[in-house]
Amino acid sequence: MSDNRSLIRDFILHELLNGEQADELEFDTNLLVSGLVDSLGMVRLIAHLEEKLSVKIPPEDVTIENFISIDVMADYLKTVQTS
């Protein structure tokens, strides 16, 4: 799980935020309230996770309950990886 959290954080920080705002991006940061990840950013993040983890994230799973923070995403990815 910690690997997945780092995978997610690294992509957001380096690919979506261009290496900036590192202080604001904690594992429990609310990505919705902070506005750190926009709609297109989320599409890119999902594509990245699918490729790196060899998993399929169904569109109907892309909800706030599964993607509100890095911690929550990592928990969700565990369920996809084991299913």
Partner 1 sequence: MHPVFDNSHLAQKAEAYDFAREHLQSDMVAADRAATFPRDLWIACARQGIQGLAAPEDHGGKGDVDLLTSMLVMEGLGKGCRDNGLCFALNAQMWTVQLPIVDFGSDEQKAKYLPRFISGEIIGCHAVTEPNHGSDAFSMETHAEKVEGGYRLNGTKRLVSLAPIADVALLFATINPELGKWGVTAFLVDLHAEGISVSPPQEKMGLRTVPIGEIHLKDHFLAESQRLGPEGAGASISNHSLEIERCSILASQLGAMERQLDESVARAKSRKQFGKPIGQFQSVSNRLADMKLRLETTRLLLYQVAWLKERKQPAMMESAMLKLHLSESFLASSMDAIRTFGGDGYLTETEVERDLRDAVGGVLYAGTSAIQRNIIASMLGL
Using CB under 8 A as the binding rule, whether residue 44 contacts partner 1 is answered as yes
The stretch among 2-10, 20-28, 34-42, 72-80 that binds partner 1 (CB under 8 A) is 34-42
Tell me which residue has tokens 């993040």: 45
Among 28, 59, 82, 83, indicate the residue that binds partner 1 (CB under 8 A): 59
Taking the least distance from each CB to partner 1, the nearer of 56 and 82 is 56
CA dihedral sign, ordered 72, 51, 46, 56: negative
Q: How many residues bind partner 1 (CB under 8 A)?
A: 20
- Rule CB under 8 A: which residues touch partner 1? 15, 32, 39-41, 43-44, 46-47, 50, 56, 59-65, 67-68
